[in-house]
A and B are shown apart, each in its own frame.
Chain A
Amino acid sequence: MNEKLLLKYDHIPGINTLAVYRQHNGYTSLEKALKTLKPDEVVEEVKKSGLRGRGGAGFPTGMKWSFLAKPEGVPRYLVCNADESEPGTFKDRYLMERIPHLLVEGMIIASYALGANASYIYVRGEYYYIIKILQKAIKEAYAAGLLGKNILGSGFDLDLYVQPGGGAYICGEETALLESLEGKRGNPRIKPPFPAVAGLWGRPTVVNNVETIAAVVPIIQDGGDAYAKIGVGKSTGTKLISASGHINKPGVYEIELGVPVEEFIYSEQYCGGIRNGKKLKAVVAGGSSVPILPTELILKTAKGEPRLMTYESLSDGGFATGTMLGSGGFIVMDEDTSIVKNLFTFARFYRHESCGQCSPCREGTAWMEKIIKKFIDGKANMADIDLLWDVQSKIEGKTICPLGEAAAWPVAAAIRHFRHEFEAYVRNPQSINEVKHYYRLNNLVEA
């Protein structure tokens, strides 16, 4: 139980260097792929593994790879989405910082599978120090003949580059990322065409999340079938969970998909329970955009079954009583947390990050932030709750890219499960100052 595939060696000193990485099976998967597998066979292993995109959408990776158009004489590209920006998510950063070579090795194998001879890792600009770590790892790999011409004598050539973003959550959307990589504003493209047909510079492109690419390494190492045996049902393998908020042990955990949520929150192996002996109030289980669930619904499904950390179990009950695994950004809130105030930070975030290209998102995210602010300021009335509900419903599904939904869902879920809190802000505005908004840091600042 709980075999680690990605973070097996994350605490080994010097694992960020090529030498130490190689001492721990580093680049043996690459060697296996280049020497014993044809590109299509690599794709086949990934299909067999059941690996699903770890960036949030959970689309089967092998299928995505097989969609890649392969017109004669046209270069194709692999682009790694390292624009990790979904609030609550920091697993890719951890992986790249600790074990940069795991990503580099995964990039080489995946590029080989897809027939890409130039690949890019697009890293959010704020992670500039990570960019430097990756660049160092890539330099080491070039020097060792793991990148460049005729890698390990296989005849396969690959150049791997790191591209910085400029500070824009929207560039995590794959077509916005490609626009940004082309030196433009990060405006999502209107699809079709999809990147598999016309991606980077109009050429066929696959965009995969960091963790997805990294998972290719153990899949090739042990075979797709072995990987598929880990996990539950269609949620195969392991998943990196970024745990944050009011827990005793925040951090990145690699879990086998299928761990019960309750165990994840309370066991010493993972989050270690709620900080300061408080009670659990709510969890945002998969990054800011997925619906928040109150204690009773995050620990158990509406049917009363224990909720598991899998794609299926977390979404059991649809949005009425369920949520999503998303990017694995697991934000835990204790009994003192104001759901409305937390929602405000999400709303502010989405307003700030809307690209402004399409009207429902551009105007709607700003409007929602203003309405939620009214509650916090004690100036809202009951009708504002319904207005807020209506505004989010007018954004959801009407926008070019999923940012519209990402902004609307948390608002809808907060009203769905915590309407009484909005009402409390309306009923008793003068008591707002007494509402415990957040932890007082070090208890040094007077409320």
Chain B
Amino acid sequence: MTTSEIKFNDEAQKKVQEILAQYPNDKSKSALLPLLHLAQAEFDGWLSPETMDYIASILNIQAIEVYEVATFYSMFNLKPVANYLIEICQTSSCWMCGAEDIVRYLEKKLNVAVGEPTQDGMFQIKTVECLGSCGTAPMFQIGDKYYENLTFEKIDAILEDLRKENKRSRYV
């Protein structure tokens, strides 16, 4: 993707304006996290350097200020990812309730290791830390959706549904 293609569409532009309206005029840097979320959703699920430079230009800040922030937070993907990033919680309660089995099952079923996308670019497994779903463990998150109290049968059904849906997942 070249720089010229990095531009929010009209609908996203409207959202940008709504976001910027949330802060005093001289504090627009506060919009950085919401804009990065929006940009990640709009531009293929990850933040390329070009995308980040584009955000810097919108907020009129140095590019490094965007890189510093984007690399700090775990939700921003700095490399291209598959359509469905399966984020499996592995902390304490989830571990106690079988998170490692979920990881192993998915690795086997999708025939990939954690971190690798499937060949068709559909799925990618990522292990993450506590997602605040301890009472409904084990669980994973795909986009903004929580899948809880997982069993292998449930996982099979979820993957099948998503394959049919075949759309890039997003938080925003």
Contacts and interface: CB of A to CB of B under 8 A. Distances in A.
B30 A438 contact: no
B132 A124 contact: yes
Given A163-B34, A164-B34, A331-B134, A345 B144 contact: no
Contacts of B144: 128-129, 132
Given A166-B69, A182-B30, A438-B100, A90 B135 contact: yes
Interface string B19-46: 0001010010111111011000000000
Interface in A428-443: 437-442
A44 interface: no
Nearest to B151: A442
A126 B92 contact: no
A345 B95 contact: yes
Interface stretch (B2-10, B70-78, B116-124): B70-78
A181 B30 contact: yes
A163 B132 contact: no
Contact of A126 (B65, B96, B132): B132
Contacts of A348: 90-91, 129
B127 to A, nearest CB: 9
Nearest to B36: A166
A349 interface: yes
Interface stretch (A19-27, A108-116, A245-253): A245-253
Contacts of B131: 126
A405 interface: no
Interface string A391-415: 0000000000000000000000000
Question: Which one of A93, A120, A128, A440 has the greatest number of beta carbons of chain B within 10 Å?
Answer: A128
A129 B69 CA distance: 22
B133 A90 contact: yes
A441 B138 contact: yes
A245 B72 CA distance: 30
B135 A184 contact: no
Interface string A240-269: 001111100011100000000000000000
B48 to A, nearest CB: 17
A342 B74 contact: no
A444 interface: yes
Contacts of A246: 96
A346 B29 contact: no
B24 A201 contact: yes
Interface string B65-108: 10011001111100000000000001111011110111011000
Contact of A183 (B32, B97, B135): B32
Interface in B125-172: 129-138, 141, 143-146, 150-152, 171-172
A169 B75 CA distance: 12
A370 interface: no
A241 B168 CA distance: 36
Interface stretch (A35-43, A79-87, A314-322): A79-87
Given A165-B73, A201-B24, A444-B152, A349 B134 contact: no
B74 A166 contact: yes
Contact of B69 (A185, A242, A252): A185
Contact of B151 (A252, A440, A441): A441
Contacts of B59: 183
Q: Which 3 A-B pairs have the closest CB atoms?
A: A166-B73, A441-B98, A183-B32
Interface of B: 22, 24, 27, 29-34, 36-37, 59, 65, 68-69, 72-76, 90-93, 95-98, 100-102, 104-105, 129-138, 141, 143-146, 150-152, 171-172
Interface of A: 75, 84-90, 92-93, 120, 124-129, 132, 161, 163-169, 180-186, 201, 242-246, 250-252, 284, 288, 329, 331, 333, 337, 341-342, 345-346, 348-349, 352-353, 355, 437-442, 444-445
Given A86-B130, A166-B37, A442-B152, 19 more contacts: A88-B134, A89-B134, A129-B146, A166-B75, A182-B29, A182-B30, A183-B32, A183-B69, A184-B68, A185-B68, A246-B96, A250-B134, A251-B135, A331-B92, A341-B95, A345-B95, A438-B98, A442-B151, A444-B152
14 contacts: A88-B93, A126-B132, A161-B22, A166-B36, A167-B74, A169-B129, A182-B30, A183-B59, A183-B69, A243-B135, A245-B134, A288-B92, A349-B91, A440-B98
